[in-house]
Amino acid sequence: MQLPCYAFPWSAVGNNAGNITTAFSATNILGRFWVPFISNNNTSSAADQGNTTAPPVVLQQQPNATNSEVTVLAAKPAAKPTGAERLPPNIVVSETDLHLRRLWGNPREDTPVRKYLLTLTVGYSEKANVNATVHKFSDDFDVMLFHYDGCTTEWDADFEWSKEAIHVSARKQAKWWYAKRFLHPSVVAPYDYVFLWDEDLNVDFFDADEYVRLVRKHGLEISQPGLDITRGKKTYDVTIRRNGSEVHRNTVGGPGNCTDVHQRPCSGFVEVMAPVFSREAWACAWHMVQNDLIHGWGLDHNFWRCVEEPEEQIGVVDAQYVAHRAVPTLGRQGNPETGGGGKVRARAWREFSDFRARMINAERAAQREAAASLAALHHLTPPPPPPPGSK
């Protein structure tokens, strides 16, 4: 379970206070290291619960070693999370879940937290399709509904399963607005997979348990079901279901569609419509969701940043497929006086452009910072001594 970080080769030195200071030890090209991401769950022991973050990995490049030869020196003890500094370590619980518990009885006898989480952003007008979707998910799933139309108690009157679901109501909001506020990685940490689905998917040929089995079998960290375009719509060729296949990871589109099969959205790509994240991938993706860009357009072009090998760990599950009905229910939540659905879609396109600009600027800033650090270190580092016998 790993998340990416970008770093130059560096060495670590412990000072008298036991702290770690770092300095670059070489001026070669930018290297890509992968550091462990450790997530506690509700079965952790009391002693483990005090360790709320993964200890940093400390690397040192030895003199005269190749760039790939590094040594693990030490792991600095993990600090308690902000706000918990005054608490004894063994009482700190840094994670939670969305599983309902009883108001009575022994807490240890409550039903265990379920393995997976299904979230749906819904309006009451789509209740029949949402009901059909929920019935495709077994008792291994907790269900969470995000209501953009203010209707919540109405669901309990129609569906028995609704009484065991988690309901969040905030009018006229989009899926990624809810996800940023209610699906923090520490909240969904107990779940192996998180489904962030739209409400307008036809699931006649879908089984959630079989889907999870295939995702595990093929090692997919981010995935989506294939799209049946005979009964629904598609935006990208790569998401179209392939007959006779379990999983595919790239498109076979020709020139003008995917000139480079190794680039998004031609490989290592799923849409924002029905993504499924592993616990580790979502811990990364959540941080990429922008607080003010609620439609999430453009996120799918950058999901690849949250896995180690995008063309292997991101894919479309063909054997368990859905049809995207593309019902513009959220667009109807727009203000009729100001243009209604047209204005909603215009904002989504604006957010797509804004997010792309932010990502480009963030990458350029990181490159400038890395270049400045290298230049400063090169200026401070004395030249190596001449070899013996040289003049």
Average pLDDT over all residues of the chain:
81
Close Cβ partners of 8 (under 8 Å, ≥ 6 residues apart): 24, 26, 28, 30, 31, 370, 373, 374
How far is residue 68 CA from its own chain's centroid? 29
pTM: 0.75
Tell me which of 64-73, 122-131, 235-244, 286-295 is least confident: 64-73
- 145 and 90 together in one domain: no
Domain count, the chain: 2
Q: Which amino acid is at 16?
A: N
Q: What local confidence, expressed as pLDDT, does residue 176 receive?
A: 97
Q: Is residue 385 domain-resident?
A: no
Q: Is residue 364 domain-resident?
A: no
Q: What local confidence, expressed as pLDDT, does residue 332 receive?
A: 64
Strand 314-324 and strand 201-202: the pairing is: antiparallel
Reported confidence tier of residue 328, pLDDT bands at 50, 70, 90: confident
- 68 and 146 together in one domain: no
Closest CA to 53 of 186, 221, 193, 183: 186
Q: What local confidence, expressed as pLDDT, does residue 76 receive?
A: 53
- 200 and 252 together in one domain: yes
- 161 and 60 together in one domain: no
Q: Is residue 14 domain-resident?
A: yes
**Of 193 and 391, more confident:** 193
What pLDDT digit, counting tens, does each position of 213-235 carry? 999 999 999 999 999 999 999 98
CATH code of the domain in which 233 resides: 3.90.550
Q: What local confidence, expressed as pLDDT, does residue 283 receive?
A: 97
CA 329, CA 128: separation in Å to the nearest integer?
14
Q: What local confidence, expressed as pLDDT, does residue 199 receive?
A: 95
**Of 187 and 40, more confident:** 187
Is 50 exceeded by the pLDDT of residue 244? Answer: yes
**Of 227 and 43, more confident:** 227
Q: Is residue 340 domain-resident?
A: yes
Any idea what DSSP says for residue 267?
Answer: B
Which residue intervals of the chain are DSSP H helices? Answer: 127-134, 153-158, 175-182, 208-218, 279-288, 310-313, 341-380
CA 238, CA 191: separation in Å to the nearest integer?
27
For residues 34 and 59, is the Cβ–Cβ distance under 8 A?
Answer: no
Is 90 exceeded by the pLDDT of residue 19? Answer: no
Q: Which amino acid is at 338?
A: T
CA 367, CA 389: separation in Å to the nearest integer?
40
Reported confidence tier of residue 380, pLDDT bands at 50, 70, 90: confident
Is 50 exceeded by the pLDDT of residue 204? Answer: yes
Taking each continuous run of H as one helix and of E as one strand, the counts in the chain are 7, 15
Q: Which amino acid is at 34?
A: W
Reported confidence tier of residue 16, pLDDT bands at 50, 70, 90: very low
- 271 and 125 together in one domain: yes
Q: Is residue 377 domain-resident?
A: no
- 131 and 267 together in one domain: yes
**Rounded percentage of the chain residues whose pLDDT exceeds 90:** 61
What pLDDT digit, counting tens, does each position of 248-284 carry? 999 876 555 677 888 888 899 999 999 999 999 999 9
CA 185, CA 257: separation in Å to the nearest integer?
35
Q: What local confidence, expressed as pLDDT, does residue 2 receive?
A: 45
Q: What local confidence, expressed as pLDDT, does residue 70 receive?
A: 46
Q: Is residue 229 domain-resident?
A: yes
Close Cβ partners of 363 (under 8 Å, ≥ 6 residues apart): none
Question: Which of 60, 94, 128 is a domain's end point?
Answer: 94
Question: Which of 70, 94, 118 is a domain's end point?
Answer: 94
Is 80 exceeded by the pLDDT of residue 388? Answer: no
CA 195, CA 211: separation in Å to the nearest integer?
11
**What Å distances lie between residue 204 and 11, 22, 29, 139, 317, CA to CA?**
56, 56, 51, 19, 15
Q: Is residue 361 domain-resident?
A: no
151-187 b/e with 16+ CB inside 10 Å = b?
Answer: beeebeeeeeebeebebbeeeebbbbbbbbebbbbbe
CA 330, CA 176: separation in Å to the nearest integer?
13
Q: What local confidence, expressed as pLDDT, does residue 374 receive?
A: 87
Is 80 exceeded by the pLDDT of residue 28? Answer: no
Domain boundaries, position 167: 109-354
**Rounded percentage of the chain residues whose pLDDT exceeds 70:** 74
Tokens 């706000």, residue?
83
- 171 and 313 together in one domain: yes
